[in-house]
A and B are shown apart, each in its own frame.
Chain A
């Protein structure tokens, strides 16, 4: 698509097209560069970056961003960024089917979620959270976990 447009530089309209496309390319490059830069910049100290799943993002409208053992070992926070307000609102309202957190190192997991309602509709771009009971110490600091959401799984998420 990009190639086709650039390959037709005839006349005024073509020139504008080219300008638009070039701007778009430059803008994209800038955004990608920024994202890569941010990722590189934020990676020192992180025990690995957080994985992502296009399928989960498309189906549930959320991007998981952190799993942390809190409450002196007794609780877990799962944070996520809202990408699609409508889907995410459905996701957080479905209190009967919370994501399950499973240790990849041992048998153990939890779906005992303390549903933390965050208002009626979730705003895109904003971070929200769930608090879990860390059932029988299911997850431990420093290991990796799988987030299971229906049929979809997000693997190798670092547990802070």
Chain B
């Protein structure tokens, strides 16, 4: 608890205090089909999930292998982060936690209502000397289990994470995303009709960090000094750039099943009127100033609550730099608009060097897709990162804290990915 930051504590408290109105329930549509990109949900008709806290290894792009603790679906192997649980607002959720780790662990569900552990109110645990041992009832070391129930809160995204020895266990990887959907409206972020998103265009960006020294100490059963911790790897969904670009369930990342590529088409009032949604969650200990290049995103939810006034007025806002604080979540809508009105023959938008500062990333290196959207290409200097391939456009999206955009100091890497925007008719080369 000692390094549990004030921000995180505030975020958890705020999320726990806010109580949403329960709404009527309807059986959710069947689980999302497996796909190469986009959120992969764990769903269940009874909203009952069996998770096992277990250890395993992840790989980092620089060739490192890191010992982790994480939650996994009890029927599957180790994965980081824990399974994305998708549930319907207002309905009961049951999470059975089995523990195979060498120490007690638990799950807290910030923002959910009436959380119980084995049928008793979830509450902090103390040892005989009165010291706090856990924020919630635990599953005992090695083979313990505990069953949590709660009513899914207001629609939006939430973290679920360890409530035991939080500084260490959170660093070790005990976290996951909980996506609560509005009853009867699986394609809306919240209860507002203006939160609808395009079918299949839903993304989770669970942001976290790893200090390999802590993980090595835990693996070797040596003392851990979380106060001296310095994170070296920064991840989206348990992966660092360029693994963030790889598809869901990439075979070379067996313990890191979730990709982080946003793939959309331009806004069109007729053919593509709805935006994509991205759920940003911070499971780490510091702020992640995440920002996509190229366009602002509309923040419509904070910590699982729609941004609206007392009489329902829209309080959402466009934001360029999405500051996701420790323990916080933001749900945003994003689309991409062809403001230059590209036309292959009448307005082919030639290549111009980007002049805006946010294209400069590290030193003189820059990331640029080689042309204006769908444009013709002029020669470009070699310090440009070039991506344009079949007319699609890539925006980089990354943490603006540049040390978070590295793999152990080597740029580019870390908390970085790309947003891919295809031509309106699709990518013809595919």
9 nearest interchain CB pairs? A127-B63, A133-B389, A70-B245, A136-B429, A137-B429, A114-B385, A95-B382, A118-B410, A70-B246
List of A residues within 8 angstroms of B412 by Cβ: 116-118
- Complexed CA–CA distance, A73 and B390 (Å): 11
Query: Per a CB cutoff under 8 Å, which of B61, B251, B418 touches A71?
Result: B418
User: Is B261 at the interface (CB under 8 A from chain A)?
Assistant: yes
List of B residues within 8 angstroms of A114 by Cβ: 367, 385-387
Query: Per a CB cutoff under 8 Å, which of A73, A75, A127, A137 touches B387?
Result: A75
- Complexed CA–CA distance, A72 and B254 (Å): 18
B contact residues vs A (CB 8 Å cutoff): 36-37, 61-63, 242, 245-247, 250-252, 254, 261, 263, 362, 365, 367, 382, 385-390, 392, 394, 409-413, 418, 420, 427, 429-430
Could you list some 23 contacts between A and B, CB below 8 A?
Answer: A68-B252, A71-B394, A73-B430, A74-B390, A74-B420, A75-B389, A77-B246, A79-B61, A113-B386, A114-B367, A116-B412, A117-B362, A117-B365, A118-B413, A125-B63, A126-B63, A127-B61, A128-B62, A129-B61, A134-B389, A135-B390, A136-B390, A160-B250
Q: Is the CB of A133 within 8 A of B245?
A: no
List of A residues within 8 angstroms of B250 by Cβ: 68, 70, 160
User: What number of A residues sit within 8 Å (CB to CB) of B?
Assistant: 34
Q: Is the CB of B245 within 8 A of A131?
A: yes
Contacts of A99-151 to chain B: CB distance below 8 A: 112-119, 125-129, 131, 133-137
B240 to chain A, nearest CB (A): 11
User: A137 with B390: in contact, given A45-B251, A71-B261, A115-B385 (CB under 8 Å)?
Assistant: yes
User: A75 with B365: in contact, given A81-B63, A129-B61 (CB under 8 Å)?
Assistant: no
Tell me how many residue pairs across A and B have CB atoms closer than 8 Å.
Answer: 101
User: Is A7 at the interface (CB under 8 A from chain B)?
Assistant: no
Q: Is the CB of B261 within 8 A of A72?
A: yes
User: Is A66 at the interface (CB under 8 A from chain B)?
Assistant: yes
Q: Is the CB of B382 within 8 A of A115?
A: yes
- Complexed CA–CA distance, A115 and B382 (Å): 8
Query: Per a CB cutoff under 8 Å, which of B62, B409, B420 touches A72?
Result: B420
List of B residues within 8 angstroms of A131 by Cβ: 242, 245, 385, 387
User: Is A11 at the interface (CB under 8 A from chain B)?
Assistant: no
Known: A75-B389, A129-B242. 16 other contacts (CB 8 A): A66-B252, A68-B250, A71-B245, A71-B420, A72-B420, A74-B427, A75-B245, A75-B387, A77-B242, A77-B245, A117-B412, A118-B412, A128-B62, A133-B386, A136-B390, A160-B252
A75 to chain B, nearest CB (A): 6
User: A119 with B411: in contact, given A68-B250, A114-B385 (CB under 8 Å)?
Assistant: yes
- Complexed CA–CA distance, A81 and B64 (Å): 11
- Complexed CA–CA distance, A102 and B54 (Å): 41
Query: Per a CB cutoff under 8 Å, which of B263, B365, B387, B430 touches A133?
Result: B387
Query: Per a CB cutoff under 8 Å, which of A75, A117, A125, A136 touches B411?
Result: A117
User: Is A96 at the interface (CB under 8 A from chain B)?
Assistant: yes
> Which residue of chain B lies nearest to A71 when distances are taken between CB atoms in the complex?
B245
Interface centre among A72, A116, A134, A135 (most CB of B within 10 A): A72
A61 to chain B, nearest CB (A): 15
Q: Is the CB of B389 within 8 A of A135?
A: yes
Q: Is the CB of B245 within 8 A of A160?
A: no
B419 to chain A, nearest CB (A): 10
Q: Is the CB of A70 within 8 A of B63?
A: no
Query: Per a CB cutoff under 8 Å, which of B246, B367, B390, B429 touches A68?
Result: B246
List of A residues within 8 angstroms of B430 by Cβ: 73-74, 137
List of B residues within 8 angstroms of A128 by Cβ: 62, 410
